[in-house]
Amino acid sequence: MKKWLLIVGAAGVAAAGGWWRLGRSSPAADPPPPTLVRAERRSIDATVTATGIVRLRTGAEVRVGAQLSGIVTRLNVTVGSHIERGAVIAEIDARGLGARIAQARAQIAMDEAALNKLQVQMRRTRQLVEAGLIARATGEDLEEDLKNAQAKLEKSKSDLALVESDVPYLSIRAPVSGTVASVSTQQGETVAAAFNAPTFVTIIEDNALEMVAMVDETDIGEVRPSNPVVFTTETYPGREFHGVVERIAPRATIVSGVVNYETGIALRDGVALLKPDMTTNVTIQTAHRSALLIPNQAIHVSRANGQEKFVYVMANGQPKRRDIVLGQRMATGTEVRKGLAAEEQVLLGEPQGAAK
């Protein structure tokens, strides 16, 4: 029994020694090779950033009033309702206008009757003048009366046309399509248009919004009308809206000593979501230009001051630190303005044992 235990123990010692020699003789696992990328020259958009505000275009707020006096018999809108161009906003009592029209028509009938009577007298008078029974002067006087009667009839017809021209104003219609912002007259109220033009409603025209960006004086020289614009709002931070530069103010706006130029931007989409006085973060695309780009993961910041930017460049198979000057940053990469040449290889990440 003791001999058997000695044999088993010796075998265990031998096996342990074999495993130790195997571990000593196996090479250590090699570290993964560094990931290298080349600095590439690409075409990028040159941009100008600014802050802005959404507001109503000049003339987009329309006040609709009455041209006739009377009682408002019907009011078809409320604040916030949408109305189409030509739709009836309100109706005015037509009884006063109807009486004026009836009076004008009665006057025309009287003038026509008087004219017919003079025409009959004129035919008889001509016969008597030709027969020498009455003086020629009598006929001439009657001809003058006939001309006056004809002129009076024409005036009466003109008066009727003038009164009837007010008929369309009994129905107050929307001059534009838009949203009702205010209602200042109620159904049953009397309006006196002879003294002023009472406002029934105020309408904000559809698609009447624009965006105004305040561009710094150092950037305004690069901005031109028709430049495309992308902007976001505090209300919808994850959504991009688009527009185009329409105009640039010729005079500066100075706020707290900072010189800015008001830049008007026409909206191209998302108008239904936007409201006046929303603040915006604006990016104006001013041009296309060539730039040297590297991935954002290859850029390091010095821990000493938090300002210096650098990359690791492969030289003779070894990573070496290289200070760089950065330009525009994008989701796909960052522009390098100084410190790196095209096709140079930079290291993604940080080499082992490197110090910043």
pLDDT band of residue 19 (cuts 50, 70, 90) is very low
In this structure, CATH architecture of domain 61-204? Beta Barrel (2.40)
Q: What is the pLDDT of residue 10?
A: 42
Summarised one tens digit per residue, pLDDT across range 42-90 is 888 788 999 999 998 887 888 888 878 788 888 888 898 899 999 998 8
Q: What is the pLDDT of residue 220?
A: 93
Summarised one tens digit per residue, pLDDT across range 279-305 is 999 999 988 888 899 998 889 888 777
Query: Hey, how many other C-beta atoms are within 10 angstroms of the C-beta on 346?
Result: 23
Query: Is the Cβ–Cβ distance between 345 and 37 less than 8 Å?
Result: yes
Query: From the centroid of its chain, how far is CA 250?
Result: 21
pLDDT at 135 over 90: no
Where are the domains positioned within the chain? 36-44+291-347, 48-58+207-288, 61-204
SS3 339: coil
Q: What is the pLDDT of residue 30?
A: 57
Q: What is the pLDDT of residue 18?
A: 46
Mean pLDDT score, 16-42: 61
Q: What is the pLDDT of residue 266?
A: 94
Query: Is the Cβ–Cβ distance between 201 and 81 less than 8 Å?
Result: no
The more confident residue out of 199 and 22 is 199
Q: What is the pLDDT of residue 226?
A: 93
Q: What is the pLDDT of residue 196?
A: 57
Q: What is the pLDDT of residue 33?
A: 67
The more confident residue out of 28 and 254 is 254
Q: Residue 202 is encoded by which pair of tokens?
A: 């105020």
pLDDT at 3 over 70: no
Range from 89-98, 133-142, 261-270 that averages highest in pLDDT: 261-270
The more confident residue out of 322 and 14 is 322
Considering the chain, what percentage of its residues have pLDDT values greater than 90?
26
Nearest to 343 by CA among 33, 36, 46: 36
Please, what CATH class does the domain formed by 36-44+291-347 belong to? mainly beta
Q: Do 36-44+291-347 and 48-58+207-288 come out as alike in CATH topology?
A: no
Query: From the centroid of its chain, how far is CA 5?
Result: 94
DSSP state for residue 134 in the 8-state scheme: S
Q: What is the pLDDT of residue 281?
A: 94
Considering the chain, what percentage of its residues have pLDDT values greater than 70?
87
In this structure, CATH architecture of domain 48-58+207-288? Beta Barrel (2.40)
Q: What is the pLDDT of residue 159?
A: 87
Amino acid at position 47, single letter: T
Q: What is the pLDDT of residue 265?
A: 95
pLDDT band of residue 213 (cuts 50, 70, 90) is very high
pTM here?
Answer: 0.52
Q: What is the pLDDT of residue 14?
A: 43
DSSP state for residue 355 in the 8-state scheme: -
pLDDT at 12 over 50: no
pLDDT band of residue 197 (cuts 50, 70, 90) is low
Distance CA 55, CA 66 (A): 28
